[in-house]
Amino acid sequence: MELDDISQSGKARVADYSPYLDQLAGLANDMGLRERSNLVHLERCLNAEWSLGQNSILSWCTLDDGILILVVPHFAIAEYTAAPANDAAVPPKVSERFITELISGERQLTLTQMQKVARLLDVKPKQIVLRQALTGHPVETQIIEKMIRRYGINYVESRAVTLFDIVGFSLLTPFEQMTQLNSLSYSLNAAHAKMLELDVGINFARSSSGDGFYIWNRDHGIDANVNLYHFMHLVLADNAIASSKSVARTVPKLRACFHVGSCYEFHQAEGLNPTMYNFIVGDVTIELARMIEAAYPGQILVGDFMADLSDQNSDETDSQVNLDATRFLQRAQGNLSKLSGLELSGERVTAIKCYLTGEKLESGEFNIRRLNIRDKHGLTRTAYNAKINIYRDTAQPILLGIEDRKLKTKAT
């Protein structure tokens, strides 16, 4: 049966072919069946151009009767910025910055921009003829953007990521590994549910590190990054509560790192289609992997980063476009009112304090200690030791992280 002939009762079948309509269900309901069917047809055409992962779709632009797309072999993206192997003196076709900008942010170009990019990359744009012209509706454009990104590679300049690592994972039996990973997964879901109850946005994604999970917020911006930091300490709190009640080795001992940096996002192939959920790799995951190697059991490390504020509607001055790690934590402490009313293990939380540790000064105040971490490759990076104290009505406070005095042999 053709999609154009689907009746009103057949809308669910259309959604099966285009999962973006499910992701934006509330908005997509404003679209007529013909518009939805048009997007399903586009999805099929993009899938064919993707060709089981052989190609990557870079950009798109509208035409009267459809769209133009820029399709290149998946390996070509790296080759564009490299000099020819047989002649290093010949400059690359385009700069790495040009490619980075091309795969960052919105992927829609004007027709003029599409033609210029195609000439630079020496690629002929491909036309997809649709069943009807696009309406230009914002929801329609948003869905097409999601489609294009699913079949390509995306670069994000400033992404917060946290890494949860199970201590001693390789020494556990396979059954214990399974139960501890399952316990950590439950803590992630429980923390997510608590934040949703308080209407705090966290659209989190996960990727396995083998001994734990990388976690990031699919949403962008400084508030999304701060929310991820709060998400991290709720996960650790749930894990701590579970650990206090456990009598067997079913609950993992965790260490965690938090960092903000650049990354590439992509969708791995699953069967004959790319997955709906993305994976990440880049500077931010590399830094986290190196930091976690130096972390003590129970420790929380925060990287030395600059979090981007440029995409925020903020009153910050131009000199405050970026937040370093210390000011980021100050901002995180300042918006903890979002978590008011939170309950952990049946006890209402009365206060939460998150801070970077240091030595006590003669004035009675504390400085912030910088930790120099040297990895197995001989590279040195800076990190900070973080503490999170969660106070509850009548129960004992939950104290996350380790004290500064235990770090003196590694600190500067």
Task: Tell me: pLDDT of 213 over 90.
Answer: yes
SS3 225: helix
Task: Tell me: pLDDT of 218 over 50.
Answer: yes
- Rounded CA separation 227/206 (Å): 15
Name the phi and psi angles at 388, rounded to 5.
-135, 120
On average, the pLDDT of the chain sits at: 84
Task: Tell me: pLDDT of 36 over 90.
Answer: no
CATH code for the structural domain at 156-407? 3.30.70.1230
Task: Tell me: pLDDT of 87 over 80.
Answer: no
Task: Tell me: pLDDT of 10 over 50.
Answer: no
> CA–CA distance from 106 to each of 39, 154, 282, 307, 319 (Å)?
18, 10, 20, 20, 26
CB 130 within 8 A of CB 64: no
Q: What is the pLDDT of residue 189?
A: 92
Output 87 or 282, whichever has higher pLDDT.
282
Residues 6+ apart with CB under 8 A from 160: 216, 217, 224, 225, 228, 229, 258, 259, 260, 284, 307
- Rounded CA separation 119/210 (Å): 43
Residues 6+ apart with CB under 8 A from 206: 188, 213, 214, 215
Q: How confident is the model at residue 86 (pLDDT cuts 50, 70, 90)?
A: low
Task: Give the ranges where 246-306 is alpha helix by DSSP (H).
Answer: 283-294
Task: Tell me: pLDDT of 16 over 50.
Answer: no
Q: H or E stretch including 371? A: strand 371-374
- How many Cα atoms sit within 13 Å of 284 on the Cβ side? 27
- Rounded CA separation 36/15 (Å): 8
Task: Tell me: pLDDT of 67 over 80.
Answer: yes
Task: Give the ranges where 205-320 is alpha helix by DSSP (H).
Answer: 222-245, 283-294
pTM of the model as a whole: 0.84
The residues spanned by each domain of the chain are 14-152, 156-407
List the structure tokens of 115.
């033609």
Task: Name the residue among 97, 98, 108, 112 with its Cα closest to residue 142.
Answer: 108
Q: What is the pLDDT of residue 162?
A: 97
Task: Tell me: pLDDT of 1 over 60.
Answer: no
- Rounded CA separation 1/58 (Å): 32
| Per-residue model confidence as pLDDT tens digits over 265-298 | 888 776 667 766 778 899 999 999 999 999 999 9
Task: Tell me: pLDDT of 410 over 60.
Answer: no
Task: Give the least confident one: 11-15, 110-114, 236-240.
Answer: 11-15
Q: What is the pLDDT of residue 45?
A: 94
Strands 254-266 and 300-303: parallel
Task: Name the residue among 182, 195, 107, 109 with its Cα closest to residue 148.
Answer: 107
Output 410 or 365, whichever has higher pLDDT.
365
